[in-house]
Amino acid sequence: GQNIDQPTEMTATEGAIVQINCTYQTSGFNGLFWYQQHAGEAPTFLSYNVLDGLEEKGRFSSFLSRSKGYSYLLLKELQMKDSASYLCSDNYGQNFVFGPGTRLSVLP
C-alpha cells in the first residue's frame, strides 16, 4: 500500500528547533518530498530525498531512511511565518501520494 503517516498537529516556540516525522509504506519508491502549505494557499516545495541521509537547505533539512520507511523534516530557528501545514509526499511510479499533513503552530 501507500499509507503515509505523520502527526496531525505540533506546537513550538519561536527560535526553537522542531522535527516533523513521516513514515511511509510503499513500493516502487521514487523519492520522498516535503511541501509547505499556508492556510488556504497552494503547497510549495521544500525538500526532496531519494537516497538515505540528510539534505540541508538553509533553515530546513530533511532526512530519509529507506530501510525504515522513515523521513523527518527539521526546521531550525523557527519564525512565526513557519506556522503552516507540512505535507509529506511519496513519489511512486508516475504518481504522488500525500500524508494528512502536520499543522505546525509557532508561538512567540
Partner 1 sequence: DGGITQSPKYLFRKEGQNVTLSCEQNLNHDAMYWYRQDPGQGLRLIYYSQIVNDFQKGDIAEGYSVSREKKESFPLTVTSAQKNPTAFYLCASSIKGPGANVLTFGAGSRLTVL
Interface with partner 1 by CB under 8 A: which residues? 4, 8, 30-31, 33, 35, 40-45, 48, 50, 87, 89, 91, 93-101
**Minimum Å distance from CB 15 to partner 1?**
29
The nearer residue to partner 1, 67 or 94, going by C-beta atoms, is 94
Can you tell me which residue has the cell 530519509? 64
The nearer residue to partner 1, 17 or 54, going by C-beta atoms, is 54
The nearer residue to partner 1, 45 or 52, going by C-beta atoms, is 45
Residues 6 or more apart whose CB falls under 8 angstroms from that of 73 comprise: 19, 20, 22, 34, 46, 47, 60, 61, 62, 86, 88
Can you tell me which residue has the cell 513519489? 91
Count how many residues are written for the chain.
108
